[in-house]
Amino acid sequence: MPVFQVTAADDPRVAAYAGIRERDLTSGHGARFIVEGKVTLETLLMRGRFAVESLFLCETRTAPLTSLLGRVPDDVPIYVAPQGVMDAVAGFAMHRGVLACGLKGPPLAPKDVLPADGYSTALLLAGLSNHDNVGACFRNAAAFGATGVLLDSESCDPLYRKAIRVSSGAALWLPFAHGGTGAGLIEAAEAAGHEVWALTPREDAEPLSALAVPARLALVMGAEGPGLPAPLIARARPVRIPMTQGFDSVNVATAAALALSHVFNSRV
C-alpha cells in the first residue's frame, strides 16, 4: 500500500483534510466527505458503498491499524504525519488520529432507495438540521432493519463527519436520498407502495402500539422542537407514542427508535 510522509500542514496532498470542523459546518467538502475514527474507517473500507480517495493517519496509529490498512485498495494513498502536523491540518486536536476522505458519487433518488416490492420500512426525515439527531436516526434505522432513509433538503447531510460518527458508520452503507420537500418524500414513499405514518404527539393521533404494521411502511419524523408541520401530518396517518400523563415528547431519534422497533418486532 502506498504510504506517504507529510511533514508540513500546508502540504497540498492533504488539503481535503484542512479545517475540517469549519468545513463540516459549511458543506465545504463538496463532492467529498470525511470519516473520523477506527470504527467508521473500518465500515467505510469493509461495507461502505462509497469510493475512498485517501487516508490521513497520525504516525502512531499505523502499527495498531496494520490489519485494517491491508484492506485499503492499492490505488488509495495513505498519508502519515506526526501528531502536531495532523492537528494543524485538521484545525483541532485529532486524538483519534484516524481520518479518511470518501467520494460521494452520484446521489441516489428515492426510487433507488425504496425497493419495488416485498417488505420495506423507510424512515423519512423532514427538517432535521441537527447532525447528532440525523446520525442517531441512521443508527436506529440500521439497527431495526430499515430499507433506507429519505431526507428533505432542509435536513443536514448524513455524510457530515459528526453525523457519520454518531451513526456508527450506518450512513456509509444504508441507502439514502437527500433533497426535495417533506411532501415530496411522502409522495415518493406512497408511489413506491408504502403506507405513511406521521409521528406526532397530538392527542388525536392513533397510538403506535395499537396499529397493525403493513408490509410496506414509511415513518416520517419532524425536527426536534417544532415537529412535523400540520400539512405533512395531514398528508399521512397521524401516529403517537403513548407516554406518561403530562409528558408528550422525546428526542426525535428516540421516537424513531421506538417506532422502528415496533415495526421490526411485529415482523420477526
Which of helix, strand or coil describes residue 160? coil
Structure pTM? Answer: 0.94
Q: Are 79 and 56 in contact (CB under 8 A)?
A: yes
- Give the residue with greater pLDDT, 183 vs 244: 183
Environment class of 59 (CB within 10 Å of its CB; exposed 0-12, middle 13-18, buried 19+): middle
| Ordered DSSP codes for 16-76 | GGTTHHHHHHTTTTTTEEEEESHHHHHHHHHT-SSEEEEEEEEGGGTTTTHHHHTTS-TTS
Same domain? 116 vs 43: no
Same domain? 179 vs 246: yes
Domain termination residue (choose one: 45, 80, 103)? 103
Same domain? 136 vs 83: no
Residue 255 phi/psi, 5-degree rounding, is -60, -40
Environment class of 19 (CB within 10 Å of its CB; exposed 0-12, middle 13-18, buried 19+): middle
Domain termination residue (choose one: 60, 83, 103)? 103
Instruction: Name the nearest CA neighbour of 72 among 97, 93, 111, 101.
Output: 101
Q: Domain containing 88: what range?
A: 3-103
Instruction: Name the nearest CA neighbour of 172 among 71, 29, 44, 32.
Output: 44
Q: Give me the pLDDT at residue 247, please.
A: 80
Q: Give me the pLDDT at residue 236, please.
A: 97
Residue 113 phi/psi, 5-degree rounding, is -95, -40
Mean pLDDT of 60-72: 94
226-261 pLDDT tens trace: 889 999 999 999 999 998 887 877 899 999 999 999
Least confident of 24-33, 76-85, 165-174: 24-33
170 confidence band (pLDDT: 50, 70, 90): very high
- Give the residue with greater pLDDT, 20 vs 190: 190
Alpha-carbon distance 262 to 69, whole Å? 39
Same domain? 207 vs 97: no
Same domain? 86 vs 117: no
Q: Give me the pLDDT at residue 1, please.
A: 67
Same domain? 151 vs 208: yes
Residue 182 has pLDDT above 80, yes or no: yes
Q: Give me the pLDDT at residue 150, please.
A: 98
Same domain? 205 vs 97: no
Mean pLDDT of 110-129: 95
Residue 72 has pLDDT above 70, yes or no: yes
Same domain? 51 vs 140: no
With a CB cutoff of 8 Å and minimum separation 6, the contacts of 53 are 16, 32, 76, 101, 102, 103
123-144 pLDDT tens trace: 999 999 999 999 999 999 999 9
With a CB cutoff of 8 Å and minimum separation 6, the contacts of 188 are 110, 111, 114, 150, 177, 180
How large is the angle between the packed helices 252-267 and 131-143, nearest 10 degrees? 10
Mean pLDDT value across the chain = 94
Same domain? 170 vs 66: no
